[in-house]
Amino acid sequence: MDANTISIDSAFKTGEENDYSVAVVLGEFERGVFILDIVRGRLAYPQLRATMMELWVKWRARVVLVEDKASGQSLIQDLQQSTKLPVRPVKVDGDRLSRAHTVVPTWEAGRVYAPAGACFLPEFLAELTAFPKSAHDDQVDAFVQGVRYATGSSDGRGFLRWLAEENARLVAEGRLTPDLPSR
């Protein structure tokens, strides 16, 4: 499965008391969203940038979402100016809990998948189930940001919706032949 989205929630500092920087890699398919990978660490900026580049090389995501606040602003500027990564700044709207509530229907409908036995899964699920009272919520933030984008439940349009709109535009322009129903 191809990665459609890398969703990043970055942190400024690397001390034990500080938040983590997190990247959640998501793939979309007809039944929902698949968590392909999660990287979590207290990374200084050079390591954060290098880690994000490695993730993109590994997964070739169609979009790299970066929360447009705090250290994310530096990451956005750097990656947009010095790489070919398809970076999209994401403005934070509302509080963390309100944003998380927007993806609950996707989760409850059984539309979020992850590989059984993935090394990132126990830590991710522990943080998710303790949210909003967990000591850290960085994985939840990156996950919610990515799922909101993928499902179109935020300002961003999910890739599948974008693809349908793009195909319709190309058909209207005569640059793509519509699929004919099979008989």
Encode pLDDT of 35-57 as tens digits.
Answer: 999 999 999 999 999 999 999 99
Q: 60: left (phi > 0), else alpha (psi -120 to 50), else beta?
A: left
Can you give the pLDDT at residue 2? 64
More confident residue, 156 or 11: 11
Can you give the pLDDT at residue 43? 92
Fold assignment, 5-172: Nucleotidyltransferase; domain 5 (3.30.420)
88 DSSP β-pair partners: 65
For the chain, what are the domain ranges?
A: 5-172
Can you give the pLDDT at residue 26? 96
More confident residue, 13 or 81: 81
- pLDDT at 87 exceeding the cut of 50: yes
pLDDT interval class at 159 (50, 70, 90): very low
Q: Which amino acid, residue 93?
A: D
CB 63 within 8 A of CB 86: yes
More confident residue, 26 or 3: 26
Q: How far is it, in rounded angstroms, from Cα 76 to Cα 87?
A: 7
**What is the residue-averaged pLDDT of the chain?**
85
